[in-house]
Structure 1
């Protein structure tokens, strides 16, 4: 802007715009007045720049623009929009703006801008050309939206996911170390079968946690992911265990009890039940229910079909007294949960119930 060029006020600029649009059409004046009032009253920060004057100065800004930036109207009018930039402004985004202006294109970018007091804000800038009735470019329109809160939330989410990935890596290492200790101890004590059983349970816990860590950062997890991961090794072909459930979520602290209980049920089915022959199947279903007191609970049902013929109905108390089921029951009790077993005509039926706080 040369020394002999004086900045005009936003109101003067609006009158100029109105005059240019008036012509012989009486409605044009009213239209210009309505446009001025609308731009002045809108809560979105708005400015207009004149591409026909050197350095494309701002010729209009509304009060929302002044509140957002901290500058007065006289500080803004006559300046190029770059005066809001600072050392932290991404020059790649600035280059996109320059290219859009040169090509008269509409563009939306996010860039760091600076207020008059030096504080920063993330600006979602919408920039586009305005044409006259003759089709010629008259102004560039810019609207600014403070998206600092959204941007900071994204940054926090990225940080949380990075932490979760690190926890996942370390947790896998912990399970591997525990498994190694169990194996070495089992060999030294000539207790390999015991070590193998312990290691299988440790691995089941690891599988139940692995696919849910990303979700855990949200405070709840998709229980279906944990269920499928725990049971995958028992159905390598994918045609023996059927799953029925939706996107039910529950607290991460329920995963240990659920994972180990399903591992024991699958191990029992592989040795004695529906997974011990070539034709049996297991259906696992889950969902939220209300208990008799009206409290929300996660309920998982395990139903076997087509297993070996049962000559006599087993004693449930005897079947459930094995070490694996005892461990599962202890974990479930810590989560205030229950495990019910029932022998039906088609095979074992089990129900896991855990009260929950969040759905």
Structure 2
């Protein structure tokens, strides 16, 4: 290893121990250096090949220098202070700081440093390992930017829904059709609620189903406990959320008029899962189960209303389906989407 051999100076390991150390340091991909706090300015007395590759310096440019030579104009001095404190207290420290290579390029360095003592318990060296975590920092920065953009989109989306609502209200009043405009606005608001809590992580390309389900249904169970949620972190593409939101809105309003939410004791279970049964293999399924409502005698008139026709049309566009059955205990419904839309 030329002059990256175990140590420069009289305190070098000797014999088999030194050879093993040298071979181990030569093979590891982690950049490693040792400094000697007994010498003036705690210079580097050993570095391995990975340290040279990481920094761009040769061993002859490294040995004898304090590690601060890797710092630059944008190195965070708070992190540097943590290093100084660890050296002063002979303690272990892990910090991330911006360092600079010989060619002037920067990299994020995950530095682990700690003391090494001799057989008498006397401080002999400080050990430092360096790991280039620049890609992790870049990914985190991209994630922060994506979330900031998602928040801006969320803000603008709320404004769009508000404008749509105002237009619907004005149109309804001008046509003397306030009930029609009210129903349209309820559906617009349901769409808005389905997207609002999920936009922050929409940059991932998918949206968590449970967040949308809870947001859409929250107004129909203001005290909590009437609607029971059964699901996990299953995700689906954003386009499917609009269908889920509108469908759950129609089911909830139907339940308030005719079903389990029309009295003080009924409950609704909402479950979402990935279904692999033989009838719907490869589907995202959202189940709606009502219990404790008034007696059911066939499908109520609302079954053939405008709301469910809108839902059926939207689901058909997304290759989905809505199956409804009126059992003795209440409405049982299932929404199905192709598995390509789940994740």
TM-score of the alignment, normalized to the shorter chain, above 0.5: yes
Asked if the contact 1:17/1:32 (under 8 Å) is kept, the reply is: no
SS at 1:303 equivalent: strand
Match of 1:347 among 306, 313, 330: 330
Distance between the aligned counterparts of 2:190 and 2:254, measured in 1? 14
Q: 1:144 to 1:12 in 2, by over 3 A?
A: closer
Q: For the aligned residues, what is the CA RMSD?
A: 2.0
Deviations 1:91-138 (A, max 9, x none): 221122122112211111111111112221111111111111122211
Distance between the aligned counterparts of 1:136 and 1:255, measured in 2? 64
Asked if the contact 1:9/1:59 (under 8 Å) is kept, the reply is: no
TM-score (norm 1): 0.89
SS at 1:343 equivalent: strand
What are the ranges of 5 or more consecutive residues in structure 2 without an aligned counterpart?
none
Asked if the contact 2:207/2:237 (under 8 Å) is kept, the reply is: yes
Query: Based on CA coordinates, which of the two structures has the bigger radius of gyration?
Result: 1
Asked if 1:124 is matched to 2:120, the reply is no
Asked if 1:314 is matched to 2:299, the reply is yes
> Which residue number in structure 1 is paired with residue 259 of structure 2?
273
For residue 321 of structure 1, report the CA deviation from its aligned partner: 2.4
SS at 1:17 equivalent: coil
For residue 15 of structure 1, report the CA deviation from its aligned partner: 6.9
Asked if 1:31 is matched to 2:17, the reply is yes
> Which residue number in structure 2 is paired with residue 237 of structure 1?
223
Distance between the aligned counterparts of 1:288 and 1:40, measured in 2? 49
For residue 322 of structure 1, report the CA deviation from its aligned partner: 0.9
Asked if the contact 1:69/1:115 (under 8 Å) is kept, the reply is: yes
Match of 1:331 among 299, 306, 314: 314
Write the mapping of 1:180-195 to structure 2, written as runs, cut at 5 A.
180-195=166-181
Tell me which stretches of 4 or more aligned residues in structure 1 moved more than 4 Å. Answer: 291-295
Q: How many residues align?
A: 341
For residue 298 of structure 1, report the CA deviation from its aligned partner: 0.7
Asked if the contact 1:338/1:354 (under 8 Å) is kept, the reply is: yes
Distance between the aligned counterparts of 2:49 and 2:309, measured in 1? 70
Asked if 1:53 is matched to 2:39, the reply is yes
What are the ranges of 5 or more consecutive residues in structure 1 without an aligned counterpart?
1-7, 23-28
Asked if the contact 2:274/2:339 (under 8 Å) is kept, the reply is: no
> Which residue number in structure 2 is paired with residue 26 of structure 1?
none
Distance between the aligned counterparts of 1:262 and 1:11, measured in 2? 70
Distance between the aligned counterparts of 2:184 and 2:234, measured in 1? 30
Deviations 1:248-288 (A, max 9, x none): 22111100011001100110110111111222222212211
For residue 202 of structure 1, report the CA deviation from its aligned partner: 0.7
For residue 292 of structure 1, report the CA deviation from its aligned partner: 4.8
